[in-house]
């Protein structure tokens, strides 16, 4: 079968599950990977024959797509803020909302050397994009999952970036004397996109997320949805410089609760920000009287 005929076949096999435009784009992304051709060259070679071996790679992808697996996991890679990243099931696929959080930090930060800590780094998307855009930044990152840290480390290598990773269970961080030693010098910026989807919101989510992305990175109990944020705020009060700022991605329904919790925790200023969909999706907070 020719590449062109196979493309139509691929689309027919999946057209009940995905819009045609999306399937075309999946086909080209997979073809780029399996055939090692640029999109333009694929379009120019539609009359070439597709080997059985290549067909079988596509059929495996069809099976995985039928099972609602995200294309990013099938490809094993994605892009975040213009930065290439390896992804697998150990890490959440970076979201466009999180790019907005990163761009907010970049707008704010002094170009001088900033020290940054990313809590719950996952693929490393926030830490690595900040390190890449802010040349002089010194970036550290933590995660509870060793397997996520493995992915994040590979991502620092492919991006030629240096980040200090530590495996930390945020809920028990006070026991960690090594970190107390490492972080003596404190951070200008602490940033986190922790789990914030309440179990009761799970039914509103797509199967590709529920069935394939790591629960540990997504969900919190309905009765204590701010658990991770409380811990982050405690950690930040200890490890943020006096004039430092904490940046958080948040649950769109919990902006008011977040503001109240952070005020009670001693952050005098909390600024909420909407994402491109008009939802309360991020905030920054700080303790000092702002002069800048
Ligand atoms: N915004 C993500 C989603 O909708 C959730 C990210 C998170 O829990 N930190 O899937």
**216-252 pLDDT tens trace:** 999 999 999 999 999 999 999 999 999 999 999 999 9
Q: How far apart are CA 8 and CA 20, in angstroms?
A: 10
In the chain, how long is the greatest CA-to-CA distance? 69
* Ligand 1 atom index nearest CA of 120: 9
Residue nearest to atom 6 of ligand 1 (CA): 218
C-alpha separations of 140 from 114, 147, 229, 252 in Å: 11, 17, 19, 27
- Top CATH class of 91-286 equals alpha beta
The pLDDT tens digits for 133-169 are 998 899 999 999 999 999 999 999 999 999 999 999 9
Minimum-distance ligand 1 atom for the alpha carbon of 249: 9
Query: Given this model, what pLDDT does residue 180 score?
Result: 82
CA of 221 to the centre of ligand 1 (A): 14
**pTM score:** 0.94
Which helix (H) or strand (E) covers residue 4, if one does? Answer: helix 3-14
Angle at 130 between CA 128 and CA 136, to 5 degrees: 105
């Amino acid at each position: 079968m020719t590449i062109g005929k196979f493309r139509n076949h691929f689309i027919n096999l999946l057209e009940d599950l995905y819009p045609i435009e999306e399937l075309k784009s999946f086909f080209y992304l997979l073809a780029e990977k399996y055939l090692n051709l640029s999109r333009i060259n694929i379009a120019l070679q539609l009359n070439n024959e597709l080997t059985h071996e290549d067909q079988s790679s596509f059929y495996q992808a069809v099976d995985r797509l039928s099972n609602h697996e995200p294309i990013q996991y099938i490809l094993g890679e994605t892009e975040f803020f213009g930065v290439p990243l390896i992804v697998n099931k150990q890490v959440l696929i970076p979201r466009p909302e999180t790019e907005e959080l990163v761009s907010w930090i970049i707008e704010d930060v002094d170009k001088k050397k900033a020290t940054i800590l990313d809590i719950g780094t996952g693929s490393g998307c926030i830490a690595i994009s900040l390190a890449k855009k802010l040349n002089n930044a010194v970036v550290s990152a933590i995660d509870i999952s060793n397997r996520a840290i493995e992915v994040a480390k590979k991502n620092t290598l492919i991006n030629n970036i240096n980040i200090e990773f530590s495996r930390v269970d945020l809920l028990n961080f006070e026991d960690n004397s090594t970190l107390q030693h490492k972080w003596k010098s404190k951070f200008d910026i602490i940033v986190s996109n922790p789990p914030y989807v309440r179990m009761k919101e799970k039914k509103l989510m797509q199967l590709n997320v529920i069935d394939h992305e790591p629960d540990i990175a997504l969900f919190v109990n309905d009765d204590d949805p701010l658990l991770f944020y409380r811990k982050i705020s405690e950690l930040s009060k200890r490890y943020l410089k006096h004039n430092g700022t904490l940046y958080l991605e948040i649950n769109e329904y919990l902006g008011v609760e977040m503001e109240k919790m952070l005020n009670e925790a001693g952050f005098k200023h909390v600024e909420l920000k909407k994402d491109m969909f008009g939802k309360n999706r991020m905030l920054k907070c700080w303790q000092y009287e702002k002069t800048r």
